[in-house]
Amino acid sequence: MAKKQRTAIEPTRNEDYAEWYQQIVRVAELAENSDVRGCMVIKPWGYAIWENIQKVLDKMFKSEGVKNAYFPLFIPKSYFEKEAEHVDGFAKECAVVTHSKLEDDGNGGLKVGGELTEPYIVRPTSETIIGASFSKWVNSYRDLPLLINQWANVVRWELRTRLFLRTAEFLWQEGHTVHASRDEAEAETKLMLDVYAKFAEVYLAVPVIKGEKSEGERFPGAVATYSIEAMMQDKKALQAGTSHFLGQNFAKSSEIKYQNKDGEYEYAWTTSWGVSTRLIGALIMAHSDDNGLVLPPKIAPAHIVIIPIAKTDQDREEILEYIKKITSALQNKRFDGKEIIIEVDDSDATSGEKNWKWIKRGMPIRLEVGKRDMESESVFMGRRDLEPRDKKTLKWNDFVDTVEEILEEIQANIYQKALDFRKENTLIIDNQEEFYKFFTPESKKKPEIHGGFALAHWCGSVECEEKIKEDLKVTIRNIPFELDSEQGNCICCGKESKQRVIFSKSY
C-alpha cells in the first residue's frame, strides 16, 4: 500500500470530519473559543472575511433601495409577548437582563443589584423592537415601502455550539421591510432570497438551492420562509440564508398601520431576511481540503502572497527590489472591480514553512520569488485550487497581465468543484427502500460520510416529515423553486404528491 501522503490538516475529512472542521478553523486562524460559554473570538483573518461579506452584501442591499439603521440590543419582555408563535420559537434560548448594577458584596467581590422593573431580552432577532419603531414611522401609503437593514450581533442561548456554525452570540444582518400589499411583500421576500443566492454563488462560490421551507421548519411567526441550501463536503445541508414573508402577523402585533389612498387604515405586510457569520462556516465546509482553508478570491482578505527566497542578505535586498517592481505593476490591476491585495511574507521562517502557512490560510495565489526567478524575470506560482506541489514558472509581466484571469479561473474552479460535488451527491429517489439505504451509514458506530440530497416526493403532511426525521434524522431542507411540479407518490406514505423536495441531513 502506498504511503499515506502527508496532509497539513489531521485528521483528514474522511477520517473525522467534525475534527477536521475544527482544525481548519484553528490552523487557518479564523476564530477560537473564548472564556465565555459558546461565544467565539473571531481572529483577524476570519474577521477580514466577514468584513468582505459585509462590504459586498451591503452594496447589494443598497442597490435594492435598502437603507441601514440601528436598533437597541435590548428588547423589553413585553414586546416579545406580543407575537405568540415568535415567543414559542425563541423563549428557550434568550439571555435576559434583570439587573442594572454591581455592588460590593463585603467580601472583596461583587453582587448584582438594582433589579429592573421590566426585564430586557438581549435580541435573538429584532422583529419586535424594529416593529415598535416601524409603527411610528409608517403612517401613510406614501411611507411605503420601508426598506431597512441592520448589521448587528444577536444572542441565542444555544445548548450545543460550534464555531461559526452555531454560537451563542453571532454577527449577522437582518433586513426588515414594510409594504402596502401582500404581493409586494412576497416579491421583496423572494428578491432578497435572490440576492443571497447570487452572493453565495458569485462571491462565496457556493452553489445553493432556493426554495420554500416546510411548515415545520418555518421561522416562528412567519407565513412563509424561504431558504438557500448548500451542500457541505460531508454531504450534509447547510442553510446559508433565510428570507421570511411575515404576512400581517408582526404588523398586527406591533400595530404597523398605514392610511391607504381612500383614507382607510390597513395593516401593513412585512418581511425579514438574514445571513450570519455562519456563512464563514459554509465557506469552510464547502471548499476547504486536507491541506487547509480554500478561499474564493472574490471574498479572500488578500489575493496574492509573495514569498521571497534568499540565501544571503544581499540577495534578499535585490529580491525585495524585484518584488517591489511586481507589486507596483499589480497596483494598476483590478479584480472584480477592486484593488488586488498582496501580502509580502518577509518573515524569516523557511520558505517551506511560509508556503504551508499560506496554503493553510487559503491564499488564492502564492508567488515564490528567488534569485533564479529574478534572473529569468519570472515568478514561481502556486494556486490554492491546485495541488500544493503543482506549481509553475511564468514571466512576471505575463503574470501581471493575466492575474485577473487567473483569479477568475480560481474562483470558477472552486465553484465548479462544489457544484460537481453537489451533483454527484444529489439523487432522484422514488423507492422507499433506496431512500432509507441512502441515508443509513454502513458503520453504525463510526458513521462514514454518506447520504447527500435526495429529491423525493412528499405528500405535504407533517406526519411524514416527522417520521422520516425520526427514522433517519433527515429533514426537508426546502421545496426547490427550480423543480417543476410533477405527479408522484410520497416517499413515506405513498400518497399522491405534486412536488419533489430536498431531503437531507443538515447542520
- Chain residues in the site for RNA (CB under 7 A): 6-8, 18-19, 21-22, 33, 37-38, 89, 92-93, 156, 158-163, 165-168, 170, 217, 219-220, 227, 239, 242, 274, 276-278, 291, 309, 311, 349-353, 355-356, 360, 368-374, 380, 389, 391, 469-470, 473, 506-507
Q: Which C-beta is closer to RNA: that of 291 or that of 497?
A: 291
Question: In 3D, which of 493, 495, 443 has the Cα closest to residue 468?
Answer: 493
Going through 66-162 in order, the beta strands assigned E by DSSP cover 67-68, 74-76, 96-104, 110-122, 146-155
* Gap between the terminal Cα atoms of the chain: 36
CB of 411 to RNA, least distance (A): 24
Q: Which C-beta is closer to RNA: that of 156 or that of 298?
A: 156
Grid cell digits, residue 90: 425563541
CB of 209 to RNA, least distance (A): 14
Cα–Cα distance list, 416 to 222, 359, 410 (Å): 34, 20, 10
CB of 305 to RNA, least distance (A): 13
Q: Could you tell me whether strands 453-457 and 426-428 are parallel, antiparallel, or unpaired per DSSP bridges?
A: parallel
Q: Which C-beta is closer to RNA: that of 181 or that of 393?
A: 393
Grid cell digits, residue 65: 433601495
Cis-peptide, bond into residue 11, ω within 30° of zero: yes
CB of 368 to RNA, least distance (A): 4
Q: Which C-beta is closer to RNA: that of 180 or that of 284?
A: 284
CB of 270 to RNA, least distance (A): 17
CB of 55 to RNA, least distance (A): 20
Find cell 453582587 and name the residue.
111
CB of 165 to RNA, least distance (A): 7
Q: Which C-beta is closer to RNA: that of 249 or that of 276?
A: 276
CB atoms within 10 A of CB 26: 16
CB of 416 to RNA, least distance (A): 25
CA–CA distance, 188 with 444 (Å, rounded to integer): 45
CB of 365 to RNA, least distance (A): 14
CA–CA distance, 26 with 33 (Å, rounded to integer): 10
Q: Which C-beta is closer to RNA: that of 37 or that of 338?
A: 37
Rama region for 254: left / alpha / beta (φ>0; ψ in -120 to 50; rest): alpha
Grid cell digits, residue 6: 502527508
Q: Which C-beta is closer to RNA: that of 80 or that of 170?
A: 170
Q: Which C-beta is closer to RNA: that of 144 or that of 365?
A: 365
Cα–Cα distance list, 288 to 33, 114, 276, 285 (Å): 21, 49, 19, 6
CA–CA distance, 439 with 491 (Å, rounded to integer): 13
Question: In 3D, which of 386, 387, 368, 388 has the Cα closest to residue 378?
Answer: 368
Q: Which C-beta is closer to RNA: that of 59 or that of 444?
A: 444
Length of the chain in terms of residues written: 507
